[in-house]
Each structure stands twice: as structure tokens, then as C-alpha cells.
Amino acid sequence: MRLKITASSALPVRFPFNYQYQLSAAIYNLIAKSSDDYARFLHDKGFRLEKIRERSFTNKTSLIKIFKLFTFSKLNFTPYRISPKGFLDVRTIEFIFSTPVPESYKHTVLGIFSDNIIRLDLLGHNLFFSVTNVESLPEPVFSGEHTFICLSPIVVTTSRTTSTGGREQHCLDYLQSEERLKFEENIQKNLIRKYKVLTGKSIRSSQKFAFAFDLDYIVRRQGQISKLIHFKDDIKIKAFEAPFTITARPELIQTGYTCGFGEKNSDGFGCVEMINKDAD
């Protein structure tokens, strides 16, 4: 279930280059207008997948994965000028919100139409955008292979040991040969987990799974397909933005399309649009 949301400001607005955190907060605020309890549930708890891992015959450890099961695109600005300080003279914003969860879709819609206002906290100021159009978008038919463009960049992480012996989350670099296979494997694992949370059904990893960014696009961009996103003041996220082709079970591809591919989807990562919509 997808919404295309358009909103306008009475006065020109400046946006910083990194606004994902503020837009995520604005979406939670929309949901809270319809149901504060549901917004708190999404933000604080989310949808949980608990997997039991056996370390020995007597000890068991639990691995809990938490998903919000929604994603959103970058903003399209009209008009705008780019300066070292960000996007200037913005009057209209447009973005895609996507979720497979009916409750999330319902409260987003009701929150929008409660007062037709989107509030964004930008650069220390509360700015108000009047919603001018909301469009429900049809869902494509899914087969076993599709090509997508990124509406927001894709991030995939892994846990690794630091020089001091601790553990840290590392953003995998698709362009590094030693990390590319892990990037693809973690895309698949992430989709399988989301599908399990959504349906209660398990899918095993498959050798038929494949994920690859478009090589011609990488050449045209001279390899410049990564983005370093400053999410809040102290969090930096390396993500990738390029067309890609994925081969997988149709239900997994649908899960990625509706929830987002990769991780941190509810923070504005992994939202995509299908190129070959007529494929079925």
C-alpha cells in the first residue's frame, strides 16, 4: 500500500541536505494524530521476530529483530536551488510512503486528513506544510525477477569486532569485493525475516537469489553511487543509490517493495520503484 503525498508552504523554505530524521519524525507525528498509542507502539516496540539460537544442549540464546515495516522516499522539491547550506527556496514537497501493514496505512491516511498539515522541525524551526494532494498508488504484479530504481538509498550492515575487542555495526560497501557477497546475503536474510514477521511463514535462503546494482549505471557515475547520510548529529550511515535487479521468490520481492530493501527503512532508506512494471 502506497501513498504519494504532496504538500506546500506559504513561504520559501530551506532544507538541509540530510533531513531523513526530521521526515521520519513527521511521519510518526502524522500517525499519532490518528492514534497516539499506535504511533508509540511503532516507535518504541515495532513488529518483533524472535529466533532461538542454540549454543549448547543446556543454553539457548534469543536473537530479536525489530521491524517497523514501512519506508519512505526522498523528498522531491519544487522549486529549489542548491547551495552549500542545502536546498533553498522550496515551496512544495512530494514523497512516497509505503507499508504492507493495513493499520499503519490507515493511521497515516487519517492523520493526514485530520488537519491536512505536515509539521517538520527543520534547523530548529517548526515549519508547516499544507497537504495539497494524496494519491493511493496501485501495486504492481510481482514475478521472480525485477529491476528497480532507488527512491531512497539502500543500507546494509553487519556486526564486526573493533580494534579494542568490542562489537560495532558496520555499513557494508557494495563496491568492495570482499563485502559484496555479504551485502547480497544480508539483503536476502533481511527480506526473509520481514516476510516471517508479516505472514508467520518461513522461507529458506535460496541459491536462486541474486541482487546486483546496474554496472552500466556505476560506470556512468564513475563509481559514485554511495552516499554518507548524517542521521542526527552523531550517526553517519553509508548507503547506496543505483538501479538494481533482484532475482528471488515473488513474495520476497513484494516484501522489499512494500517494506523497503535493506535496513533502516523507517528512517528513510530502501524505498524503491519498479522499472519493468508490466513484467509478470
Strand partners, 117: 130
> Which pLDDT tens digit goes with each residue over 119-160?
999 878 889 999 999 999 999 999 999 999 999 999 999 988
Length of the chain: 280
> Which pLDDT tens digit goes with each residue over 243-253?
999 999 999 99
Residue 72 three-state SS:
strand
List every span in the chain annotated with CATH 3.30.70.1890.
2-57+66-137
Considering the segment(s) 145-274 as one domain, its CATH architecture is 2-Layer Sandwich (3.30)
**φ, ψ for residue 206, nearest 5 deg:** -125, 145
Model pTM score: 0.90
CA 253/CA 132 separation, integer angstroms: 32
Does residue 53 have a pLDDT over 60? no
What integer pLDDT is reported at residue 252 of this predicted model? 97
Query: What cell does 99 get?
Result: 507499508
CA 157/CA 239 separation, integer angstroms: 10
Let me know if domain 2-57+66-137 sits in CATH 3.30.70.1890.
Answer: yes
List every span in the chain annotated with CATH 3.30.70.1900.
145-274
> Which pLDDT tens digit goes with each residue over 191-239?
999 999 999 999 988 778 999 999 999 999 999 999 999 988 778 999 9
**φ, ψ for residue 185, nearest 5 deg:** -60, -40
